[in-house]
Amino acid sequence: MKKIIFNNQHGERSAFHWKWSAFLFIFAVSLLLFSSCDDGDEEAVRYAVDVTVQYPEGYADGTPSDIEVKATNTQTGTNASAKTNADGVAQFSLVSGIYSFSVALETEEFAFNGLLENTTVAADKSITVTLHASSLSGGLVFKEIYYSGSPIEGATGTTGYLQDSFTEIYNNSDEVIYLDNIGFGALDPVVSNSPSVWVDENGNLPDRLPLFGYSFYFKGSGTDHPLEPRTSTVIAVDGIDHKTDPAGNSLSPVNLANADWELYVGDINNGKDADAPGVPNMELLHTTITTAFDATYSVFGPAMVIFRFPENTDPADFASNEANLSTKPGTTKPQHLRIPKEYVIDIVECVNHDTNKREKRVPSDLDAGYTFIASGTYSAKSVRRKVKQIIDGKVIYKDTNNSTEDFLQDQTPTPFVHPTTVDQ
């Protein structure tokens, strides 16, 4: 049996080299860790932000605990969320920036929404978000709004086709709803690029909403235009097959030849608006424009509204009453038709895809959020309301009066078509 003999001198030298190599390795790793921790500490300066959530006055259901609050950094688009504790306080640790804080939840009877915007975080602070309540009894809702327009083959820059726009309204209830004398339009300002001038002395948006451009209504005697439960009606700017019609656009995503209604402006601007045969026209209610030959709405994001006049109120009489008309602050003309908030059935604030151009035009108790098309103008995309449930094959759309929570962005337009699965 052979013995293995180690040379002691070589062994000591090997051990020395091993120890020295290990020391260098550990030293290098330590430097790396120290550097990483140092950089992280410098970048991760955070502040404690306590957000107290309050139910609206008169709603007696204890403290709003275990409710999710979302914090969005409006400069970077990053999001964080936290749930309220037993005291109704959600605790955040946030880097400095400008934030919006939002809350959306439902009970069996109500949808609650709260929004606090333009909150600067540069130190520890405490803030409060007061919720607004709306009934979940069901009714008419905007199912889809296609306003972005479509690209034109060979066109460059910001040129596009917008006559293929449409709006789809859905009966989200279990009962027939008559559309007779229900109004339809968009709010002023036409775009969300800058703050609205329609504010009171405290900077609050008004209770009487100003309409922009062409507004319409479903003219009828009361029971002429029934909309069955869980069905929709499609309102087209132009009721043609935009993909194949010579007057259309080959890159349009929609065929609206079978639309239920068309927005025809009649003799305004020398009758330049083409009247599609076979598609009934909504009745013109009011306009602030006499030069546009189509009732199109902003490709940058309109605030769309449907509203119901009180019983025994003739829409045409209402629109011609000087008490319901106002000139825009800072201007002398034209006059805008003003709709009281209590007339509103549904309203959706669509804003600019640019984060720096998203000013609210809709009071937060009517829409606590907003939606937009991230792909931008002439992208042939729409916004579509999320499906909450499907019962007996019929869709029930989500409606919390918070368009941020209720709508999907950048959808392929699907007039007349309803999803077969629930949206997450």
For residue range 308-346, list pLDDT tens digits in order.
999 999 999 999 999 999 999 999 989 999 999 999 999
Judged on CB neighbours under 10 Å (0-12, 13-18, 19+), 339 is: buried
Nearest 5°: the CA angle 121, 122, 128 is: 35
- Residue 65: CB partners within 8 Å, gap ≥ 6? 84, 85, 86, 87, 88
- pLDDT number for residue 168: 98
pLDDT at 28 over 60: no
Six token digits for residue 351:
């804003």
Comparing 36-50, 100-114, 151-165, 387-401, which segment has the lowest mean pLDDT?
Answer: 36-50
- pLDDT number for residue 144: 98
- Residue 129: CB partners within 8 Å, gap ≥ 6? 51, 52, 53, 54, 69, 101, 102, 103, 114, 115, 116
Spell out the domain ranges in the chain. Answer: 46-135, 140-411
Cα 99 from Cα 370, distance rounded (Å): 15
Q: Where are the beta strands (DSSP E) in 344-393?
A: 344-349, 382-385, 387-391
Nearest 5°: the CA angle 186, 207, 106 is: 80
What's the mean pLDDT in 143-154?
A: 95
Cα–Cα distances in angstroms (integers) from residue 219 to residues 10, 169, 182, 265, 318, in the given order: 104, 16, 8, 15, 13
Fold of 46-135: Immunoglobulin-like (2.60.40)
Asked if 50 and 127 count as a contact pair (C-beta separation under 8 A), the reply is yes
- pLDDT number for residue 5: 38
Q: How far is CA 353 from the centre of its chain?
A: 10
Nearest 5°: the CA angle 398, 400, 402 is: 110
- pLDDT number for residue 137: 66
Q: How many CB atoms lie within 10 A of CB 409?
A: 16
Residue with tokens 């409710």: 67
- pLDDT number for residue 94: 97
User: What percentage of the chain carries pLDDT values higher than 70?
Assistant: 88
What's the mean pLDDT in 216-245?
A: 97
Residue with tokens 């509103």: 344
Residue with tokens 């349009």: 252
Comparing 6-10, 179-183, 188-192, 295-299, which segment has the lowest mean pLDDT?
Answer: 6-10
- pLDDT number for residue 21: 53
One DSSP character per residue, 44-90 reads --EEEEEEEEEPPTT--S----S-EEEEEETTT--EEEEE--TTSEE
- pLDDT number for residue 134: 77
Nearest 5°: the CA angle 416, 422, 423 is: 90
pLDDT at 6 over 50: no
Higher pLDDT, 237 or 294: 237
Confidence of residue 68 (pLDDT cuts 50, 70, 90): very high
Confidence of residue 284 (pLDDT cuts 50, 70, 90): very high
Which amino acid does the sequence have at 220? G
- pLDDT number for residue 59: 79
Q: Which residues of 230-255 are buried (b: 16+ CB within 10 A; e: fewer)?
A: bebbbbbbbbbbbbebeebbebbbbb
Asked if 365 and 400 count as a contact pair (C-beta separation under 8 A), the reply is no
**Average of per-residue pLDDT values in the chain:** 89
Confidence of residue 245 (pLDDT cuts 50, 70, 90): very high
- pLDDT number for residue 37: 45
Q: Which residues of 375-385 are buried (b: 16+ CB within 10 A; e: fewer)?
A: ebbbbbbbbbb
pLDDT at 172 over 50: yes
- pLDDT number for residue 269: 67
What's the mean pLDDT in 136-152?
A: 92
Residue whose C-alpha is closest to residue 188's, from 325, 323, 369, 384: 325
What's the mean pLDDT in 288-299?
A: 88
- pLDDT number for residue 43: 64
What's the mean pLDDT in 115-127?
A: 95
Comparing 74-78, 83-87, 292-296, which segment has the lowest mean pLDDT?
Answer: 292-296
Pairing of strands 226-227, 46-54: unpaired
Judged on CB neighbours under 10 Å (0-12, 13-18, 19+), 115 is: buried
pLDDT at 16 over 80: no
Confidence of residue 12 (pLDDT cuts 50, 70, 90): very low
pLDDT at 29 over 60: no
pLDDT at 250 over 60: yes
